[in-house]
Amino acid sequence: MELFASALPVLGEAFGMILDPTVLGYLVLGVVMGLCIGVFPGLGGIAGLSLLLPFMFGMEPLYGLALMVGMVAVVPTSDTFASVLMGIPGSSASQATVLDGFPLAKKGQAARALSAAFSSSLFGGLLGATFLTFFILAARPIVLAFQTPELLMVTIFGLSMVGILAGRVAVKGIVAACLGLLVGTIGEGAASGELRMATYDLPYLVDGFKLVIVGLAIFAVPEIIALLRQDKAIADRQVLSGGWMTGVKDWWANKWLSVRCSLIGVAIGVIPGLGGSVVDWIAYGHAVQTSKDKSQFGSGDIRGVVGPESSNNAKEGGGLVPTLLFGIPGSGSMAIFISGVALLGTGQIEVGPSMVNNNLNFTYAIVWLLAMANVVGTLICIFAAGGIARLTNIRFALLAPFLFMIIAFAAFQSRQSIWDLVALFGIGMLGIMMRRFDWSRPAFLIGFVLSAPAERYTNQAVQIASSRFRRSLEEGLDYIFSPIVIVLIIVTLISVIFGLRQAKNIQAEGDVSSGGKRAPLLFLLAVTAYIAIAYTDASMIPDFARTDRVFPVFVGTIGLIGCALLLIQMRLKPEVDPLFADREVEDRGINAFGLWPTLAWFGGLLVLTSLVGFILALAVFLLTFTRFRAGQSWQYSVLYTIAGIAFICGMAWTLNRDFPPGLLQSLVELPWPLT
């Protein structure tokens, strides 16, 4: 209390600093830029902040901070547009929003879902800032109490959300999570540098896949393909007008859920190392667990939007704690933020342990700039929501090429290699199949996201614990079973038991009817084969590098047991069992186009890109797609193509990015953007 009394005048000083009109001007500028970038799926704070960095050198510190904080704060707000309207996770913060937001958009309630999401975001952001104002003074010892065993338990708690999101057949969900975990281990092991499912001849695989690509491939690609095959608009009815007030009321009706999820967001954001990438799933899981009627989750329950959206803006506030107090970035965008802060002024603000003692006024200014950016960003978004929601009434065939262009561009930012596009396409195929046979895609993604931390913390905890045990048994036990660990174990157990008991009622991705046995069996065999190969590959890692072997072998074993169980069940159960869910059967009536011809368009874009580079391939793709698939006139198609190319070039030019080159570019020198 005394501590806070002494901080109060500083808080007042901070408000004096940020209420300066020029500072507010910079903040609004940052917010608008952040909204523009956040709207595009896959482009988040990293792209935006990199854009600002060159201007930060020697800039008046407060103005620079306002600009950067404004931009970072609103990315998790505006990325909701893509999640709700298109079913594309705008960034890792909005993955869970897709599950219920997109079905709402399909029902013509996009504006309602959006405004509920924005209200929740705003509230989460403000609550997060308020909480931080007090917490930041006492945060250091609390954050330091989270040692490796605690971090491991938080990771396992995150993984336990698979239990809720596993879908109707729990074993399928678990196998999907194992598959995600295994895909996450691809590349160089963190502990000994051994390769798993990779080779030095294909350097791309050595570094493993990036979340941006996996997220887009697993959620966006299948959705785009599915909508395209049905050849109509996203919403199956007219968009409700004035829906945005309903959304605000929805948020108000669930305000306590919003409070709890905001606190979850801050709390997990505070812990360095997890980067908050699972916050939205945990919040979603919490929303499901605490609701009485769970039947609507996955097919458009507004609580499935309020929960994750309350948590993801609060998380940004929480993420400031490790960033400002320890100089350890909680996420990629925070890392650039640190670099940007060091460029400001004469570099007098040094992010790190001295921040609270020497620069408490700046610390508070940052916290409350973040809160104000949330307010400004949300207001802009809510007013835009009604209009933008009408996008869902456009015929999808006209939207899809544009979306695909953006997704391909975003994926390419991951590593600036043509293999980014191959990975997007390849994992996209997996996503399409998982969607078709009703394998839980959220479970897969949670596995993928948590794979690296789960392995890293397990190895480190084991190593440190054994060193402690060598000193004394007591010291070892104290280290492993700290009070925080015990609490987390209890919470995890409760969550798993609850989850498994209710998983059958929760259809995270809607209802799917069952069909023949053959197709689901073939897919299961393919999954089994991959897990078996990954298992064999990992088990061949020699003994001296066993730290890189243990985790994939362990996960592989569980996965194979799951696969075996499924195979036995498939043998025994009739073909109407949920085990044989097959969306092809369900959607037979509404699909206007086959899967393969639709995929061929995108495969064609990929092949053409590898030959003549992205821009030329894109021009051909846009032109022919609009003309032949969407059936527009030549005139229309040419205009559409020109607009598309101009747009993507403008974006790349602003962000200083290049496009994937092809074979042609290795033979002939071409001017930008054809390079």
Partner 1 sequence: MNRLQKGASALLAAVSALGMAAPALADGHALDLSGETVEWIIPFSETGGSARWANFYAPLLSEALPGNPTVVVTFMPGAGSTRGANHFQEQSYEDGTLIFGSSGSTQFPYLLNDPRVRYEYGDWNVVLASGTGGVSYLPPDLAAELEEGGVDALLDDNFIYGSQGATRLDLVPLLAWEMLGLNVEPVFGIEGRGDGRLMFERGEANIDYQTSSSFLSGVTPLVEAGTAVPWFSFGSVDADGNLVRDPTFPDMPSFAEVCEAAPSCETSGPAWDAWVAFFTAGFPAQKMVFLPAGAPQAAIDTYSAAFQAITERDDFAEISATRLGVYPQLTGPAAGTALQSATAVPEEAQSFVIDWLAERYGVVLQ
Task: Name the segment binding partner 1 (CB under 8 A); options: 72-80, 159-167, 522-530, 539-547.
Answer: 539-547
Which residues within the stretch 191-220 sit at the binding site for partner 1 (CB under 8 A)? Answer: 191-193, 200, 203-204, 206-207
Take residue 354 and report the two structure tokens written for it.
């001295």
Residue with tokens 């005139």: 635
- Least separation in angstroms between residue 674's CB and partner 1 is 16
Of positions 24, 50, 554, 591, contacts partner 1 by CB under 8 A: 50
Which residues within the stretch 570-629 sit at the binding site for partner 1 (CB under 8 A)? Answer: none
- Least separation in angstroms between residue 633's CB and partner 1 is 39
Nearer to partner 1, 207 or 511 (CB): 207
Residue 671 DSSP class: -
Contact track, partner 1, 150-189, x by CB under 8 A:
--------------------------------------x-
- Least separation in angstroms between residue 329's CB and partner 1 is 6
346: phi > 0 → left, psi -120 to 50 → alpha, else beta; which? alpha
167: phi > 0 → left, psi -120 to 50 → alpha, else beta; which? left
- Least separation in angstroms between residue 137's CB and partner 1 is 15
Instruction: Name the residue among 111, 75, 112, 586 with its Cα closest to residue 331.
Output: 75
Indicate whether 544 belongs to the interface with partner 1 (CB under 8 A): yes
Residue with tokens 């011809």: 597
Residue 240 DSSP class: P
Q: How far apart are CA 474 and CA 464, in angstroms?
A: 14
Nearer to partner 1, 27 or 452 (CB): 452
Q: How far apart are CA 157 and CA 20, in angstroms?
A: 43
Total chain residues near partner 1 (CB under 8 A): 57
Of positions 13, 350, 577, 584, contacts partner 1 by CB under 8 A: 350
Taking CA atoms, 485 is separated from 146, 401, 453, 491, 655, in Å, by 9, 49, 16, 10, 44
- Least separation in angstroms between residue 144's CB and partner 1 is 5
Nearer to partner 1, 204 or 402 (CB): 204
Contact 411, 213 (CB under 8 A): yes
Which residues within the stretch 447-506 sit at the binding site for partner 1 (CB under 8 A)? Answer: 455-456, 459-460, 463-464, 467, 470-471
Q: How many CB atoms lie within 10 A of CB 79?
A: 30
Contact 235, 104 (CB under 8 A): no
Instruction: Name the residue among 279, 271, 357 with its Cα closest to residue 313.
Output: 279
- Least separation in angstroms between residue 327's CB and partner 1 is 5
Of positions 36, 142, 248, 335, contacts partner 1 by CB under 8 A: 335
Of positions 29, 130, 332, 391, contacts partner 1 by CB under 8 A: 332
Q: How far apart are CA 204 and CA 24, in angstroms?
A: 43
Indicate whether 130 belongs to the interface with partner 1 (CB under 8 A): no
- Least separation in angstroms between residue 206's CB and partner 1 is 5
Of positions 18, 28, 43, 46, contacts partner 1 by CB under 8 A: 46
- Least separation in angstroms between residue 191's CB and partner 1 is 4
DSSP 594-639: -HHHHHHHHHHHHHHHHHH-HHHHHHHHHHHIIIIIS---HHHHHH
- Least separation in angstroms between residue 47's CB and partner 1 is 10
Amino acid identity, position 258: S
Indicate whether 144 belongs to the interface with partner 1 (CB under 8 A): yes
Task: Name the segment binding partner 1 (CB under 8 A); options: 47-55, 254-262, 312-320, 517-525.
Answer: 47-55
- Least separation in angstroms between residue 350's CB and partner 1 is 5
Facing residues of 364 across strands?
none
Which residues within the stretch 396-425 sit at the binding site for partner 1 (CB under 8 A)? Answer: 415-416
Of positions 171, 240, 342, 565, contacts partner 1 by CB under 8 A: 342
Q: Is 615 helix (H, G, I), strand (E, B) or coil?
A: helix
Instruction: Name the residue among 587, 262, 118 with its Cα closest to residue 110.
Output: 118
Q: Do the bridges between strand 195-196 and strand 187-188 make them parallel or antiparallel, or are there none, so unpaired?
A: antiparallel
Q: Is 196 helix (H, G, I), strand (E, B) or coil?
A: strand
List b or e across 434-460, with b for residues whose CB sees 16 or more CB atoms inside 10 angstroms: bbbbbbbbbbbbbbbbbbbbbbbbbbb
Which residues within the stretch 264-293 sit at the binding site for partner 1 (CB under 8 A)? Answer: 272-273
Nearer to partner 1, 421 or 508 (CB): 421
Nearer to partner 1, 258 or 458 (CB): 458
Nearer to partner 1, 635 or 666 (CB): 666
- Least separation in angstroms between residue 194's CB and partner 1 is 10
Of positions 137, 328, 500, 638, contacts partner 1 by CB under 8 A: 328
- Least separation in angstroms between residue 282's CB and partner 1 is 22
Nearer to partner 1, 255 or 415 (CB): 415
Of positions 24, 343, 388, 532, contacts partner 1 by CB under 8 A: 343
Contact 39, 79 (CB under 8 A): yes
Give the list of residues 6+ apart from residue 365 with CB closer than 8 angstroms, or none: 14, 17, 18, 62, 65
Kindly report the backbone phi and psi dihedral angles of residue 353, in degrees, each rounded to the nearest multiple of 5, phi listed first.
-55, -25
Computed from CA positions of residues 246, 251, 252, 257, in that sequence, does the dihedral angle turn out positive or negative? positive
Amino acid identity, position 127: L
Residue with tokens 């393919």: 526
Facing residues of 196 across strands?
187
Task: Name the segment binding partner 1 (CB under 8 A); options: 167-175, 538-546, 568-576, 628-636.
Answer: 538-546
Instruction: Name the residue among 262, 307, 267 with its Cα closest to residue 287.
Output: 307
Q: Footprint of partner 1 on this chain (CB under 8 A)? A: 46, 50, 53-54, 57-58, 144-148, 188, 190-193, 200, 203-204, 206-207, 272-273, 326-329, 332, 335-336, 339, 342-343, 346-347, 350-354, 357, 415-416, 455-456, 459-460, 463-464, 467, 470-471, 542, 544-545, 547, 656
